[in-house]
Amino acid sequence: MNRENSYSKPMTPLELARHIDHTLLKPEATLKQFDKLCEEAKLYQFKSVCVNSSQVSLVAKKLKGTSIKVCSVIGFPLGAMATKSKAFEAKTAIEDGADELDMVLNIGWLKSGKLDFVEDDIRAVKEACGNKITLKVIIETSLLTEEEKILACEISKKTGADFVKTSTGFTGSGATVEDIKLMRRVVGPDMGVKASGGIRDYKTAVAMINAGANRIGAGGSVAIMKGIESDENY
């Protein structure tokens, strides 16, 4: 079973930390901020550190020798780049040390009914991942109808992706409990579901896990751990 635990009671800090992808995807982020990101991940023992592909090599070096995974976003944040470009970015990120990839689904193709194109797009990145690299597909729930959310989840599962993920945090609203429940219902118990976007406090994070999420993506991870509200949007 791919689910990494589901809780119906309050979680300990360590239990929650091991569900969190500690994230920094802001375009203006400095090298000093990535240093801090990695130190925070080590302190709290987050599941992974999630960054843009240009920072994977740096983060991989800083996390070497730890159990913390290196996660790179692919085709971020629009998902509209050419499939060959996504596959190349995926291969490069893996060569640079990424253990996990969060790719953005081509939303325009999905909404246009080009479902074969969407599937081929995900498969190209999945092929780059092989069997050892975890692939999460960002479906950008705030831009989709319920029917489109279901289709996105079904296609992602069909390709062999490991997770479906709610949001980039750059478009519209973020994760909702309702969307997590829908995604979990569609993909079943064995595929991962990641809640991301607008999760700023402990209570909300645990609510997402109770709804069926295995992972939480957050820029305000430290604030979540401290039990205080953060002003981070992603």
Q: Rounded CA gap, 23 and 162, in Å?
A: 19
**Measuring CA to CA, which residue among 84, 130, 131, 75 is closest to residue 108?**
75
Q: What is the CATH number of domain 13-226?
A: 3.20.20.70
Residue 1: which pLDDT band, with cuts at 50, 70 and 90? very low
pLDDT at 233 over 80: no
* Contact assessment for residue 130 and residue 93, using Cβ atoms and an 8 Å cutoff: no
Residue 8 has a pLDDT of 55
pLDDT at 93 over 90: yes
**Measuring CA to CA, which residue among 62, 53, 130, 146 is closest to residue 98?**
53
Instruction: Identify which has the larger pLDDT, 230 or 25.
Output: 25
SS3 content of the chain, % helix, strand, coil (to 5): 45, 15, 40
Residue 172 has a pLDDT of 82
pTM: 0.94
Task: Summarize pLDDT for 157-174 with one digit per residue, the tens.
Answer: 999 999 999 999 999 889
Alpha helices in the chain (DSSP H): 13-17, 31-44, 56-63, 83-95, 107-111, 115-129, 146-159, 177-187, 202-211, 221-226
Residue 94 has a pLDDT of 98
What is the mean predicted confidence (pLDDT) over 214-231?
86
Residue 142: which pLDDT band, with cuts at 50, 70 and 90? very high
Residues tagged active-site? 102, 165, 194
pLDDT at 9 over 70: no
What is the mean predicted confidence (pLDDT) over 210-218?
97
